[in-house]
Amino acid sequence: MKRNVITFFSKILIFLLKFFKIKLFKLNVGRIGHLVELFFLYNLRAEKEKNTKFLCYLYYSNKISNKYLFNKFKKHLNIIPYKIGNFLDRVINSLEMSDDQKNSVRVFDFLNKKSGWEYYNGEILDIQITKDEETYFKNFLKDKNIRFPYVCINLWSFKHLKENYPGLDWSHHDLRLSNDENFTELINYITEKKMNVVIMGHDPSRFKKINNDKVFNYPSVRDDILDVLLIKNCYCYISDSTGLDYLAFAFKRPMLLNSPFLNFFFNKNDKLVYLLKSQFNVKKNRTSTLNEMLYEDDTLFKVKSEFYKKNNIIIKDNNSFEILDAYKNLDFLIKNNYCEKKIEKYSEKFWNTYKQALLEKNFKEKNHYKNGPYPYVYNNIELN
């Protein structure tokens, strides 16, 4: 009887939300990647559905990852108390309805890693920068002797996670780690071209062996506003899959991404080059091809280190030559608006193979990759 009563009132709630055109979403403000991605996608949807009332409740509101960004974002949000938002979400989850029915009153489908990206078509995140903020940024660059153009490099680190979330086990992100030394040759190449390099992130111990007046170790002085303005104005952004990637992408900066998994590909931006880390299958004693990754190893949309350890798959970092050569291709792309022919041909074959796997396995994410332009993929793994 009690269950029937709960179900009845839950259905009334769904009906009222639909009738008054209200949709709910949870905004994770504790990690900058989640904060930027979810706000950006919400904003795109709000532009399409102007008659809908969007209600937002905050997750990790006591650990706001970037207060400067959040203060810019919250002006565009209808924020409700966490307890109310969480209660409504739990009610929706409890209903014996299809996922599509539940998602009719939500902004995002959390079972779909690409939910919300169907509204993206090359837009740029619009943040109003005040004159005082511009002056602050210019003075910072002058004081640190950073000149345009400069390149931002951001490698994964556990430092901020361990500091902000002590006691939690973050080892599932081990596969994101890259060796600093593999980027040294790239940094030297960039600075030899009379360009500055800004080392981003939270860990000042990164690249501590580099002594170059054109390389600035930013983590030692990092500031929320500078995270935003440095990326917004950079020549290009280089990373190995971190939260700041979403900010660089939302600002539509040219990007080189040293990626450890077949997941989270940024689409509809033709100024991106992906450098995929290879996957060594211990049982087969060789590096897997793309087809094997997609169909046999089943590593598509697998982002936790435990999966790879359990299945005896070793993620191998790219070497300094591959990283440097991939950057040269990105630099060529920035200057000429097209990539080298061999990269273009490989990328086309890569995306045909990737999209076919999405269709055959009927992943919800398949809709996101229907149309291009697609990012370029540096050819460091065999397709078949």
Mark whether 288 and 207 lie in a shared domain. yes
Mark whether 152 and 260 lie in a shared domain. yes
Q: What is the pLDDT averaged over residues 165-188?
A: 89
Mark whether 245 and 362 lie in a shared domain. yes
Predicted local distance difference test score (pLDDT) of residue 382: 95
Mark whether 154 and 104 lie in a shared domain. no
Percent of the chain at pLDDT > 90 equals 77
Say if residue 9's pLDDT is above 80: no
Q: What is the pLDDT averaged over residues 282-297?
A: 97
Domain boundary among 59, 90, 110: 110
Say if residue 347's pLDDT is above 70: yes
Residue 127 in any domain: the answer is: no
Residue 125 in any domain: the answer is: no
Predicted local distance difference test score (pLDDT) of residue 1: 58
Confidence of residue 197 (pLDDT cuts 50, 70, 90): very high
As to burial, measured by CB atoms within 10 angstroms (0-12 exposed, 13-18 middle, 19+ buried), residue 175 is buried
Q: Show the tokens assigned to 196.
A: 């500055």
Q: What is the pLDDT averaged over residues 19-40?
A: 96
Distance separating alpha carbons of residues 237 and 31, to the nearest angstrom:
19
Residue 122 in any domain: the answer is: no
What are the b/e assignments for 279-313, b being 16+ CB within 10 Å?
A: bbbeeeeebbbbebbbeebebbebbebebbeeeeb
Confidence of residue 6 (pLDDT cuts 50, 70, 90): low
- Domain count of the chain? 2
* DSSP state for residue 79 in the 8-state scheme: B
**How do residues 199-240 score in pLDDT, each as one tens digit?**
999 988 888 888 899 999 999 999 999 999 999 999 999 999
Distance separating alpha carbons of residues 94 and 97, to the nearest angstrom:
9
Residue 97 in any domain: the answer is: yes
Distance separating alpha carbons of residues 331 and 184, to the nearest angstrom:
17
Residue 118 in any domain: the answer is: no
Mark whether 103 and 156 lie in a shared domain. no
* Adjacent-strand bridge partners of 316: 278
Residue 174, helix vs strand vs coil: helix
Confidence of residue 14 (pLDDT cuts 50, 70, 90): confident
Backbone angles phi, psi at 282, to 5 degrees: -65, -40
Lowest mean pLDDT among 22-26, 332-336, 378-382: 378-382
Residue 15 in any domain: the answer is: yes
Residue 12, helix vs strand vs coil: helix
Q: What DSSP letter does each residue of 106-131 carry, written as one string?
A: BS--TT-TTTTGGG-SS--------H
Q: What is the pLDDT averaged over residues 157-176?
A: 83
Say if residue 285's pLDDT is above 90: yes
Residue 27 in any domain: the answer is: yes
Residue 263 in any domain: the answer is: yes
User: Which of 207, 205, 204 has the alpha carbon at shortest distance from 215?
Assistant: 207
Mark whether 59 and 183 lie in a shared domain. no
**How do residues 107-156 score in pLDDT, each as one tens digit?**
998 778 889 998 999 999 999 999 999 999 999 999 999 999 999 999 98
Mark whether 235 and 301 lie in a shared domain. yes
Expressed as residue numbers, the domain containing 221 is: 145-377
Residues in the chain: 384
Predicted local distance difference test score (pLDDT) of residue 327: 98
Mark whether 231 and 289 lie in a shared domain. yes
Domain boundary among 67, 95, 110: 110
Q: What is the pLDDT averaged over residues 344-350?
A: 96
**Residue ranges with strand state E in 147-303:** 150-154, 196-199, 215-217, 236-239, 255-259, 272-276, 278-281, 286-287
Mark whether 271 and 360 lie in a shared domain. yes
How far is residue 249 from each of residues 36, 84, 244, measured CA to CA in Å?
10, 32, 9
CA atoms within 13 A on the CB side of 240: 22
Q: Determine the straight-line distance between the first and last CA of the chain, rounded to whole angstroms.
A: 58
What are the b/e assignments for 82-105, b being 16+ CB within 10 Å?
A: eeebeebbeebeeeeeeeeebbeb
Predicted local distance difference test score (pLDDT) of residue 2: 59
Domain boundary among 110, 133, 158: 110
Lowest mean pLDDT among 164-173, 190-199, 225-234: 164-173
Predicted local distance difference test score (pLDDT) of residue 114: 87
* Adjacent-strand bridge partners of 282: none
Percent of the chain at pLDDT > 70 equals 98
Average pLDDT over the chain reads 93
Q: Rg (Cα) of the chain, in Å, rounded?
A: 22
**How do residues 73-89 score in pLDDT, each as one tens digit?**
999 999 999 999 999 99
Predicted local distance difference test score (pLDDT) of residue 24: 96
Mark whether 153 and 104 lie in a shared domain. no
Distance separating alpha carbons of residues 183 and 323, to the nearest angstrom:
7
Mark whether 96 and 152 lie in a shared domain. no
Mark whether 87 and 182 lie in a shared domain. no
Cβ(373)–Cβ(270) below 8 Å? yes
